[in-house]
Chains A and B, each alone.
Chain A
Amino acid sequence: MQRIYLTFVVLFLFIAGVSAQTNNKLVAASFARGKTVYLQRCMVCHQADGGGVPKLNAPLDASTAVNGSDVAKLIKYIVKGFADRVEIDGELYSNVMPAAADLKDEQIADVLTFIRSHWSNKAGPVTKLQVKQTRSKLK
């Protein structure tokens, strides 16, 4: 009995390990694709270091919102753009954020995964499913 139990435990750990590894690989691939999207669509304003441009374009590096748990809000900014004059971490930014509604669900998930875990950011990845669900509510 004890043997069977042990086998199950080993098997479970093995599967968990493999799926974690698979998951890590998937996240790494998403991050890499996200970087490409970032360079083409985001970098000009938010800059290579994610620091934005003082007073014009908000920083993504070390941003409270970017690192926060409200992923739906981030998805909305990308799909719908953002033109409100609000303080972000105590600063006003005067340029509009254009909508990038032409990006596919997967591309949005990828670029958010990249942004949320690059530079000094350490937030979790975003999945295609999260984007799809949030997006369907936006329409």
Chain B
Amino acid sequence: MKKVTQFLVFSSLFISMLLAHVSLSAQNIKPDADNAGLTLPKGFAALKVADNLGRTRHIVVNKQGAIYAKLERLDNGKGVLVLKDTDGDGRAETKTSFGNYIGTGIAIKGNYLYAASNKEVFKYALNDNGDVVDENAAATIVTGLIDKGQHNSKSITLDNAGNIYVNVGAPSNSCQEKDRTKGSMGMMPCPILDSAGGIWQFKVDQLNQSYASGVRYATGLRNVVGLDWNNQLNQLFVTQHGRDMLNNLFPDLYDTTTSAELPSETMYAIKKGDNAGWPYVYYDHIKGKKMMAPEYGGDGVKTVDDKYINPAMAFPAHMAPNGLLFYTGNQFPARYKNGAFIAFHGSWNRSPLPQEGYYVVFVPYENGKPTGKWEVFADGFSGKSVVKNPRDAQHRPCGLAEGPDGSLYISDDVKGTIYRIMYQK
């Protein structure tokens, strides 16, 4: 009898372990019949984890599979959402919220959650279940960052040495004396770079840091929204939104087509002290050159060969790379491992040509370097075959996160949809 009981206990334990495993595995989660409206490479499937959440910007998934999403507009007075899938079907059944500030950046490192407003970075302790211990006990680790409306979102990522990296976007298009005003020339040197237009580094274990106590880790970056720490290379990577309106500001030098196609959107591998050259230069991926900006004497022909770093990758203009994620999971086929996913929010600066972007791309890496090629990975967010006007897009990809099982999560900040992409062969 004792043996039978023992057998029953063990077998039920085994079965429940098996079930637990099954419920976590993407192989057994049923995707949406229409793949959540997305077009994906063969073998991939998608579902909507949650919908109509509001303006979900960046997202992060904890080890238990719960999603934290940062909101750009408060929902019932709260700015951080917590979504949980309680029955293992891949869809979120519960939604809670905390934090009375809007913002973009959110990240988890070790047992801490970090979330950014447009001026500050807050830190919350997580318990063993990956839940925030006390939602009202936010430690302010960074404060007083510039927020002048334009390019004010703060994105964050962390290294493995106790540092956090924060983007401070330049509240300007090209550092003209009069912003975005036809014919106005660039300020020399650009005074904005003292407190914006770069990446600042702070300590994770110190409170109330600001410009004086932080390090300007990299400069000459107009507006970075996607940034991620590459753990394989132990290096910071960022995606920059390139400048706007070459034709409107300097119609004698650039026609509307050139202005729609240039400058490149860029991804940089950053080392401490790097300068990417904004506002003095912009990158031209067609020529493969750094070009002197027209506000600083450029004419569409003059190049700048020294001083500034080259991008690791360049993309067509104005597509707005809002999310960057190095994929480290094992669920996707091997070629995706250690490559980069980039969420392109979609352009507005290309009219009268059709807009571009509104999709998630994959950048393959080989031996720690991008191969130079990129491919559209997930498309169909906008719900249109061609987006002529930005307000027509039904969804716009913004944030990226990797789940504990290697699923890729994508947020949309128009309607607040969270997508989950799985490989199911």
Contact = CB atoms under 8 A, between A and B. Distances in A.
Interface of A: 39-41, 43-45, 47-49, 51-57, 59, 81, 83, 85, 92, 94-96, 98-100, 102
A98 B348 contact: no
B251 A40 contact: yes
A98 B182 contact: yes
22 contacts: A40-B251, A41-B248, A43-B351, A43-B352, A44-B245, A44-B248, A44-B349, A45-B348, A49-B391, A51-B391, A52-B391, A53-B348, A54-B391, A83-B179, A95-B149, A95-B150, A95-B180, A96-B149, A96-B150, A98-B180, A98-B182, A102-B183
Given A44-B248, A48-B388, A48-B389, A98 B351 contact: no
**Majority-rule SS of A interface residues:** loop
Contacts of B72: 55
Interface residues of B, number: 27
Given A44-B245, A44-B351, A56-B348, A96 B180 contact: yes
Nearest to B55: A55
Contacts of B179: 83, 96, 98
Contacts of B251: 40
User: Which of B180, B183, B247 has the largest count of A CB atoms less than 10 A from its CB?
Assistant: B180
B182 A47 contact: no
B63 interface: no
B389 A51 contact: yes
A85 B414 contact: no
A53 B149 contact: no
A55 B178 CA distance: 21
A5 B388 CA distance: 58
A87 to B, nearest CB: 12
A73 B385 CA distance: 38
Contacts of A95: 149-150, 180
A49 B388 contact: yes
B1 to A, nearest CB: 70
